[in-house]
Structure 1
Amino acid sequence: MSTVDQLGRTAPLTSGQMAMWLGAKFASPDTNFNLAEAIDIAGEIDPNIFIAGMRKVADEVEATRLGFVDTPQGPRQVVAPVFAGEIPYLDLSGDSDPLAEAERWMRADYTRNIDLAHGQLWLSALIRLAPDRHIWYHRSHHIVLDGFSGGLIARRFADIYTAMADDNAAVPEDSRLAPISQLADEEHAYRESGRFPRDRQYWTERFADAPDPLSLASRRSVNIGGLLRQTVHLPAASAQALQTIAQELGTTLPQILIATTAAYLYRATGIEDMAIGIPVTARHNDRMRRVPAMVANALPLRLAMRADLPIPELIREVGRQMRQILRHQSYRYEHLRSDLNMLVNNRQLFTTVVNVEPLRLRLPFCGPPSQTAQPLERHGGRPRHLPVRARQRAGPADRLRRQPRGAHRTGTGRPPAPAARLHRRGDPAAAAGCRPDRPARRRRAQAIAGRLERHGPRGARHAPHRTDRSAACRQPASHRVALRR
């Protein structure tokens, strides 16, 4: 069954789509809702097979053919019978710097706002850098796809391309994707089940006395000039050190990264009742995990911080909270805000988000060519003061990418000082202050914000105090103290 039939009748939006529709409708003009990814393919690619295979994917994935209309009954979605958009092929191999030209072209595409009624909400392109190196670029508006969906489409396309290149061999059925109607059915079943009221009760009780959202800014301002972004690569040795700490404490790398970010924010602000946003897939069964669509949710992780809280205890508390979040992840953040009467004054539960993405495995394109995924830009679809994203990359020297991104430009073209400081520390354990013999310098949120307003983002120009973590990390994890201010 298709979401809508080929006569052009419309269907209601899913909960995830409605959240993005409202976000786009009331966001400032500079807010960008695009998700984009570039996949670096090492090896020869047949552009004719590539484009034909991508059109097969577009015919199978309804989200690539979605359009949205505003009606007297509210916003509706419609699936076009065939994909009518372009799939560009750019041969830049003759340019003096083909990679720079490719990055310029991709940046121009993913930084522009896409009209929901008339724009091409999904785009895929093949860029030739050399005979044995290509970039597969794909971009979508967040209302049609989330980050999980990008992985589904990438795997399906790799299977289709490989089969077509192998004399039209059979395409594996285990990667076949399902229509959006299957997602709508699961969403309806959830609302009619006993899980829905239990999830609602958990969240409303947990945040009946919700704290004010944490922010490193002294005041809210209109988004001017879009998002600022900085990226730092943690070398393999640092990533391995974090993995070792995780093994010592019986926890996971994502929980350590969330805990160390929370520790940094506590040291910067002194806020003890802290809520941080955690993105989740909100796909609680296999049927939902086969549908490329906008399903992702973001829910608050609430922590009780204090100056003498040991890092191991903080990490374990993050683990406990994460298990609760995943258990109740299907309850929409928008519904929770409505339950707590936050919609009237547009109050948020959080404006700081920490997103730790799982390692994306290599995709086989006809066997020998190797492939690595390199994300370009992923906006969560809602303005945030400080979104922090960490992603592990595959390769001989695995490393982590930490990407602090401030949601507002300051008018100077540089990121706010706290975002720059988190970026330039690089090492999450150092950012948390894991040395028991060296308390962190005292900082007040008002002083940081005041300095930023008076002098601009000084932290973007000067290196912050460097913390030597080598001695601390030689000590047993249970002896490290985290949060003295």
Structure 2
Amino acid sequence: MRNSQIEDLLPLSPLQHGFLFHALYDQEVQDSYVVQMVFALDGALDAAALQAAAQALLRRHASLRAAFVHHKIKEPVQVIQREVELPWREVELGGLPADERAAVLARAIADDQQQRFELTRAPLLRFVLVRESATRHYLLFTSHHILLDGWSSPILLQELFALYRNGADVQALPRVTPYRDYMRWLTSRDAAAARTAWRDAFAGFEEPSRIAPATTAPAVPDTVRIDLPDALAQALTRLTRGLGVTLNTVVQAAWGLLLGRLTHRRDVAFGTTVSGRPPELAGVEQMVGLFINTLPLRLQWRPEESVRELLLRLQHEQSALLDHQHLGLTEIQRLAGHGELFDTLVV
């Protein structure tokens, strides 16, 4: 890559380091961090205008033009390129018999999901537009998680359709707060204070909380869905309001108690995912990039402690760590004295 094509060089966030490691480690299987969304679009559609809108997103957001370079350098970096070509493909189903279209669509979606990204080549996203008829299309938007978090995705999609409506005029949209501002904030944090806080939080923690056999074999993720009854959801809402705690705290406490029963321990740890968007950074709520971080949560419980006392204590303990959520998981686990603290995560 010639220097004239490079717009910026940025460090990686803690979780980006983790995603990069997993992408390099499990290169022979489906990448678990390839994220795909599929949208059904009804009505007349201008495919060229939609493609132009998607290309405009790349011009607007420098973070979408990042490649992750790691070879022959001391630390991995994000290389922000000035211009990148939008990966865009169109699939035509209109000429197929009606009974074949669903199968071809399902195969196109599955094939796209399984296609890995080369993290050293930007952009780490792609679009596939499937045309079933003049008034029915499917848009496949696929990206690597190292590029975007769940908060960013709806922002990006809102802008995509705004650009589709306005003729890809990026000047008509609000100013972008650059991802570089977040990286500057990240590197300005008090790392020493964060290390002390996490070391204190896990002082005396004796052993990791694992409920599955350790394995290094790669695996394809699967999903089991269980819907909670409305009555239970309403009861949980009443409980949180009455105690002045968040629903997140209740779910974390419930999992911690179950984890304690499964491991026969009263001091357990599991993972959590935090948004990582600092409220003091202007414009952070509309920024596009990867801000989330995976962190350990320690729950110590005592049989004589009431549910109310447990929930209030847990929320207080987690609030005390809010200013230190920028530290990487690997370093926190090292500070806790263990190579791996948990094998479950609650979001």
TM-score range, shorter chain: 0.7 to 0.9
Within-5 A mapping of 1:167-206: 171-173=172-174, 176-190=175-189, 195-206=190-201
2:114 matched to 1:111?
yes
Q: Does the aligned pair in 1 maintain the 2:237–2:247 contact within 8 Å? A: yes
SS of 1:21's equivalent? helix
Give the drift of 1:228: 2.4
Give the drift of 1:213: 2.4
SS of 1:88's equivalent? strand
TM-score with structure 1 length normalisation? 0.61
Q: Quick one: distance in 1 between partners of 2:43 and 2:253? A: 40
Within-5 A mapping of 1:234-273: 234-273=228-267
Q: Quick one: distance in 2 between partners of 1:235 and 1:126? A: 37
Give the drift of 1:69: 2.9
Distance 1:90 1:329, change over 3 A: same
Distance 1:249 1:42, change over 3 A: farther
2:311 matched to 1:315?
yes
1:350 maps to what in 2? 342
Q: Does the aligned pair in 1 maintain the 2:274–2:293 contact within 8 Å? A: yes
| Match among 268, 277, 298 for residue 274 of structure 1 | 268
Within-5 A mapping of 1:450-461: none
Distance 1:221 1:333, change over 3 A: closer
SS of 1:96's equivalent? helix
Query: Which runs of 5 or more structure 2 residues have no equivalent in the other structure?
Result: none
1:72 maps to what in 2? 72
88-97 vs 254-263, which moves further: 88-97
Give the drift of 1:295: 2.7
| Match among 214, 217, 220 for residue 223 of structure 1 | 217
Q: Quick one: distance in 1 between partners of 2:256 and 2:205? A: 17
Q: Does the aligned pair in 2 maintain the 1:301–1:321 contact within 8 Å? A: no
Within-5 A mapping of 1:22-421: 22-27=21-26, 29-30=28-29, 32-41=32-41, 44-74=44-74, 75-92=76-93, 95-96=98-99, 101-118=104-121, 121-128=124-131, 134-164=137-167, 171-173=172-174, 176-190=175-189, 195-217=190-212, 219-284=213-278, 285-307=281-303, 309-340=305-336, 342=338, 347-355=339-347
Q: Quick one: distance in 1 between partners of 2:271 and 2:196? A: 19
Letter in 2 for 1:182: D
Q: Does the aligned pair in 2 maintain the 1:215–1:351 contact within 8 Å? A: yes
Distance 1:11 1:202, change over 3 A: same
Question: How big is each residue's C-alpha offset from its partner over 1:209-237, in whole Å with a ceiling of 9 and x where there is no partner?
Answer: 334222222x3112343222222333545
The size of the alignment, in residue pairs, is 339
RMSD: 3.2
Q: Quick one: distance in 1 between partners of 2:229 and 2:92? A: 33
1:8 maps to what in 2? 6
SS of 2:157's equivalent? helix
Letter in 2 for 1:160: L
Q: Quick one: distance in 2 between partners of 1:276 and 1:162? A: 45
Give the drift of 1:204: 1.5
Question: How big is each residue's C-alpha offset from its partner over 1:351-387, in whole Å with a ceiling of 9 and x where there is no partner?
Answer: 21101xxxxxxxxxxxxxxxxxxxxxxxxxxxxxxxx
Give the drift of 1:58: 1.5
Q: Does the aligned pair in 2 maintain the 1:44–1:133 contact within 8 Å? A: yes
Give the drift of 1:290: 4.3
Give the drift of 1:133: 5.2
SS of 1:279's equivalent? strand
The percentage of counterpart residues that share the same residue type is 22
Q: Quick one: distance in 2 between partners of 1:143 and 1:246? A: 34
Letter in 1 for 2:214: R
Within-5 A mapping of 1:441-452: none
Letter in 2 for 1:228: D
